[in-house]
Structure 1
Amino acid sequence: MAGFDDLEGAYDFSPGAQVPLTGAGSGQTAATHALASAAYRDGPVTALVEANPETKVSAPKFSLFEPNLGEAFARAVQVRMLGGARKALIQSFGCEPQTVVEHCLAANRIRRQRDARLTVVMGIFGLLFLPGVLLWLGGFQLRRTLAGAQGRRTGALGAVVLAALGVLAVIFVIRLPFTGFWAIYLRVMLVAPVVGWLWAKQICERYAKDLRSRWEGLLTGGGIGAKIPEAVPHAPGDAGAETIRLNLAKLAAEQRSNFAFYAGTKGILGMGTRWGSWHLAEELTPAEPGTEIHPFRSWDVARAIHDQLRMLERTPLHTGGFPKPSVQHWIVSHVGEGATEVARPEGQEVDAYRVKDFEVQRICNEQQFDSGNRHYLGVQFVLWDGQLVITMLVTVTVLHHTLRIEVTGHALGPVHSLFTTKPSPKTKTVSKSVRFWETKEITLPLIDTPEVVRLSARAPLTWFPSILDFLGGKLTLPEPFGLRHVWAGKPWSNRFMADDILRTATPVLRAVHAAVLKVLKDNGVSTENFGARSGALSGLVQAAEPKRADVYDA
């Protein structure tokens, strides 16, 4: 893409560098860290489907190879956002997607280190004593299949199979009809996998504690950054690391794009649904009869509104108020509500995913009717540490003698509660041995026997991800994909968030109208009708209520 090569030198992935957890952009850390924590989580991957039903999880061929939530999320996000054949991404407002992707890379690296050790265990005990390992794996697979297909109680049959294998192992150790080498081998064949399981359990426990500590650290603010040495080229021919580095740079550039997509009732992708709309439309007439209006264009009005919106953080009183807003000119393209992908523009009018200023002005002045992209002026507030994104958009159109100013409100709520839950120790309540009428809570190991077997079975296939996806199934993310909006909930259930959204409308609307009236007055346009209409809207907006503004009852 034109101009993108200039960005490559702006990113420094020096060896040992860590992702900062605080800093200038720390106003978005809550949403960012909540999403990043999913890369380190355990638990069933079906929880992601519950968070967004558009998420798809393919059924595994063998349940013994299916991934857990963290494994599936980290791999899916890494491939979707850094893959060579990836499609266009939706901007993640209120979030830093590069940080989330880096944590996914870090989580995958930690799991590869664990799997390398488990592969050694499987190599020693799996290859040398393959028949015994296959018997044990078959028993665990049967237990998982029956339990998953017919309910948890049916897993008892699988438990019986495992118990039978245990009894068979004891018989082989005590008495066997064979003698010589094969007698020794058959005895060890069923016992050796148990020794390997004990070794693998220690490895799994150690790495489970590491992953959980990172998960908890991200949500409590005490976590460490994500180290990604695989993104640091160590030699001129290190093509893999260079590719990751450039793709991370492209991801950051796409995040800064000023091109957005309107998807029907879903609103602008990444900004949330439209909840309110206010229109100021009056006829352009000269201020003095017999005179003419001084020529001006839509861009002149939009630029004046832009300058006025940048002053929203100022207040005549020494009190609170708006934080510094982000004011930007947007080019918006319409896509179908059920669209599964979007395409970003290319050509001389685009530089590093951003539409150039001269093209923005041309669209603002000329493309106000009929087909084509549209111009929006947006003022955006990222609040609640990134959990709430309020965007107010302004459009300026001139048709015949009518100037129309439209202000719409969009809101993106907090990330799903799944991503904000902290890890809790695995416990079980049991009766006391002597005082049986009382109970006590005991702490269980983080990794139980079925989980050790699952991780050990998957470990040798870690270096063949396509085979692992085929055998264990994979996660397919919702499209068009953006890290923030696909996992966002509705903000209206939080009273304070809802208040912040509704309070934003009145000052923004008045600032827009003040800028418009000034431009009209400076260019010899009568402001009587505009002023009266502005006053009426100023009264109506004080009773702003959230509505489904993009749903037309027609």
Structure 2
Amino acid sequence: MTVEDFFGPQVPRTGGAGQGPTFALASAAYRDTPMEEIKKADNEWHQSTVNEGRKWAKIFRPNFGEAYSQAVIDRMLGVGRKPLIQSFGSEPQVVVEHCLAATRIRRQRDITLTGIMLLCGVLFLPGLLVWLLVFQLRAGMARTDNKRISGLGTGLLVAVAALAVIFLVRMPFAGVWGWYARGCIVAPMAGWFLAKRVCERTAKDLRERWDGLLSGGSIGAKVPEAVPTSPDQAAAEQLRQSLARLSAEQQSNSVFYAGPKGILGMGTRWGSWSLAEELTPVDPVKGVHEFRSWTVVRAIHEELTVLHRQRLKTGGFPEPQVRHWIVTHVGEGAKEVTRPEGTDVEAYQVKPRAVEDICNGKQFDGGDRHYLGVQWPHLYNGSLILTMMVTVTVLKETLRIEVTGHALGPVNGLFSSKPEAPTKEVAKTVRFWETRTIKLPLVTTDEVVRLAARATISWYPPLLKWLGGSIGLPEPFGLRHAWADQPWRHRFMADDALRTATPVLRAVHRAAFRVLKEHDVDLEKFSSRSSVLSGGVQEVSPRKADTYDA
């Protein structure tokens, strides 16, 4: 484990192989679509929740990017947060950095909007309250399915505007109060005009970043507040440490098995092949030369690390990642996980000696288990994560070697959708039976009012979430698996997953037989059983291997 793995980078990272899911998840921080769209990304095992907030405060409702950024920052960097699930095939720190960068851009916009609200709104508070009430009623009416009621909202706005014009022309007050009353009508409207320009400039910037991430551009996340420049910057140092902790947890060798959900972060188990035979000595007099499970596992590890090497120059496997994993069982409906702690754990890593002890001693009854995994986390630009897990147990004189396949598919297509310019189809003036497409403003009138209203209390996010609502992330939370689809609908992904099983299984058996032969074990039964498995694995098909019909 390198220093960078533990402490994390001092500046945001960009680029690199297999960054498709990372940039897709990061792009959500810049989106301006409705918050409810997050429900479209839910899968069979993980569902997000949408907190509607107060029904009478629709004007404070966040959009997708605002709610997503705040939810991810709170969940992944919050003080006393729950443990996270590793995001294989992506870099969660980069996603969090983009959420911080998007929040920083919006905060700068909100500071400007707050100044405009103070000058053009608070100083003319009666007029501001009237205009906000009108837009609040209009926003509530617009969200109903009844077109007649939603049309009344626009009619209400037009009627109030007409009354404002009449009020200006025939002012019932004179002197200073008359001019103040005129200011209460005009100043909020002038403030809206200035606020619209600020909102349009920020919206254009956010959309360019959204599009740039999905187009493969190296859009960096600027987070200067995460790099302390002096010892007295406590907030910056705390943020830097939180990002370092996130990076360290991403490198943890501890994972969790959640029943039919499979291994969290690696996907469901779609196949399983077991080789279990009695350890019979070649020479009954000498017996079997004693060995332990770790001896077999170490040989398998060596064999799997060279899985990408072959004599035929016809392509083949990319170099895999081979690691020892400590697997903890959690319930299918568990809402949180607990990582191993104690003297055997350092920086979220179970120490090598403890891994060996678990491999040799924890093979029955409760407790954590050892698995040896060979993983390809960056296939299809990170959209497919293939993991083959190997576990070796010895009970009585029976050696059991089990190989299981896990697959996690691409991130839901919602996160890969690029921004579209708002348009509307209208009838042509002369050829009224034909339609034409016109461009709509990037920021609508209602959106300007919403952003200006939110800006006044943006300094206190809890109140903003209580009023407008928020997104609840699926638990146990990990950025990659929370919104992952199954890979079986993609023909090539499914084929690659199935093709992986045969060479991995044979490599595991080859390494195990070499150890057994060195320790004077009769290989006849093992060879026969291995031949049967080698034949059966050629007709492999994905199935729900963790669902038992008992």
Distance verdict in 2 for CA 1:425–1:54, change over 3 Å: same
Alignment of 1:302 onto 2:297 = yes
Distance verdict in 2 for CA 1:433–1:206, change over 3 Å: same
State the 1:439 CA deviation.
2.6
Structure 2 partner of 1:433? 429
8 Å contact 1:275–1:546 — kept in the other structure? yes
Q: Deviations over 1:526-554 (max 9, x none)?
A: 00000110011001001110000000001
Structure 1 partner of 2:475? 479
Alignment of 1:277 onto 2:272 = yes
Distance verdict in 2 for CA 1:223–1:431, change over 3 Å: farther
State the 1:346 CA deviation.
1.4
Distance verdict in 2 for CA 1:413–1:150, change over 3 Å: same
State the 1:291 CA deviation.
2.2
Structure 1 partner of 2:111? 116
Structure 2 partner of 1:311? 306
State the 1:7 CA deviation.
6.9
Structure 2 partner of 1:418? 414
Distance across 2 between alignment mates of 1:9 and 1:418: 32
Q: Deviations over 1:109-146 (max 9, x none)?
A: 00001111111111111111111111111111112222
The 3-state SS of whatever aligns with 1:414 is coil
Distance across 2 between alignment mates of 1:358 and 1:236: 38
State the 1:157 CA deviation.
2.0
Distance across 2 between alignment mates of 1:439 and 1:48: 32
Distance across 2 between alignment mates of 1:184 and 1:38: 46
State the 1:295 CA deviation.
0.7
Q: Deviations over 1:382-425 (max 9, x none)?
A: 20111100000000000111000000000000000100001111
Query: Which of 14, 20, 23 is the equivalent residue of 1:20?
Result: 14
Structure 1 partner of 2:32? 42
Query: Which of 23, 31, 56 is the equivalent residue of 2:21?
Result: 31
Alignment of 1:54 onto 2:50 = no
Gaps of 5+ in 2: none
The 3-state SS of whatever aligns with 1:290 is coil
Structure 1 partner of 2:439? 443
Distance verdict in 2 for CA 1:256–1:158, change over 3 Å: same
Q: Deviations over 1:333-352 (max 9, x none)?
A: 00011101111111110010
8 Å contact 1:367–1:374 — kept in the other structure? yes
Distance across 2 between alignment mates of 1:11 and 1:59: 36
What amino acid is the match of 2:494?
A
The 3-state SS of whatever aligns with 1:484 is helix
Deviates more, 1:186-195 or 1:280-289: 186-195
State the 1:150 CA deviation.
4.9
What amino acid is the match of 2:32?
D
State the 1:164 CA deviation.
1.8
CA RMSD after TM alignment: 1.5
Structure 2 partner of 1:521? 517
State the 1:151 CA deviation.
3.9
The 3-state SS of whatever aligns with 1:461 is coil
State the 1:10 CA deviation.
4.5
8 Å contact 2:226–2:239 — kept in the other structure? yes
Q: Normalising by the residue count of structure 1, what TM-score does the alignment of the two structures yield?
A: 0.96
Query: Which of 491, 502, 518 is the equivalent residue of 1:495?
Result: 491
Distance across 1 between alignment mates of 2:148 and 2:189: 25
Distance verdict in 2 for CA 1:222–1:9, change over 3 Å: closer
Structure 2 partner of 1:337? 332
8 Å contact 1:8–1:246 — kept in the other structure? no
8 Å contact 1:335–1:342 — kept in the other structure? yes
Structure 1 partner of 2:382? 386
Structure 2 partner of 1:88? 83
Alignment of 1:98 onto 2:93 = yes
Distance across 2 between alignment mates of 1:11 and 1:145: 45
Q: Deviations over 1:275-327 (max 9, x none)?
A: 00000000000012322111100000001000000111011111211001000
Distance across 2 between alignment mates of 1:131 and 1:537: 80
**What does 1:185-264 align with in structure 2 at a 5 Å threshold?**
185-264=180-259
Distance across 1 between alignment mates of 2:525 and 2:398: 12
Alignment of 1:180 onto 2:148 = no
Distance across 2 between alignment mates of 1:334 and 1:301: 24
The 3-state SS of whatever aligns with 2:436 is strand
What amino acid is the match of 2:35?
V
8 Å contact 1:118–1:203 — kept in the other structure? yes
State the 1:224 CA deviation.
1.8
The 3-state SS of whatever aligns with 2:273 is strand
8 Å contact 1:19–1:227 — kept in the other structure? no
State the 1:185 CA deviation.
1.8
What amino acid is the match of 2:186?
V
What amino acid is the match of 1:238?
Q
Structure 2 partner of 1:534? 530
Distance across 1 between alignment mates of 2:5 and 2:85: 21
8 Å contact 2:265–2:480 — kept in the other structure? yes
Q: Normalising by the residue count of structure 2, what TM-score does the alignment of the two structures yield?
A: 0.97
State the 1:149 CA deviation.
4.3
8 Å contact 1:379–1:392 — kept in the other structure? yes
Distance verdict in 2 for CA 1:153–1:232, change over 3 Å: farther
What amino acid is the match of 1:458?
R
8 Å contact 1:214–1:223 — kept in the other structure? no
What amino acid is the match of 1:406?
E
8 Å contact 1:33–1:219 — kept in the other structure? yes
Structure 2 partner of 1:142? 137
8 Å contact 2:7–2:245 — kept in the other structure? no
Distance across 2 between alignment mates of 1:280 and 1:18: 47
What amino acid is the match of 1:72?
A
The 3-state SS of whatever aligns with 2:381 is helix
State the 1:155 CA deviation.
1.9
8 Å contact 1:147–1:153 — kept in the other structure? no
Distance across 1 between alignment mates of 2:492 and 2:4: 40
The 3-state SS of whatever aligns with 1:86 is coil
Distance across 2 between alignment mates of 1:493 and 1:425: 30
8 Å contact 1:232–1:241 — kept in the other structure? yes
Structure 1 partner of 2:367? 372
State the 1:522 CA deviation.
0.7
The 3-state SS of whatever aligns with 1:346 is coil
Query: What is the identity percentage for the equivalent residue pairs of Structure 1 and Structure 2?
Result: 59
State the 1:8 CA deviation.
9.3
Distance across 2 between alignment mates of 1:51 and 1:350: 35
What amino acid is the match of 2:361?
E
Gaps of 5+ in 1: none
Distance across 1 between alignment mates of 2:197 and 2:185: 20
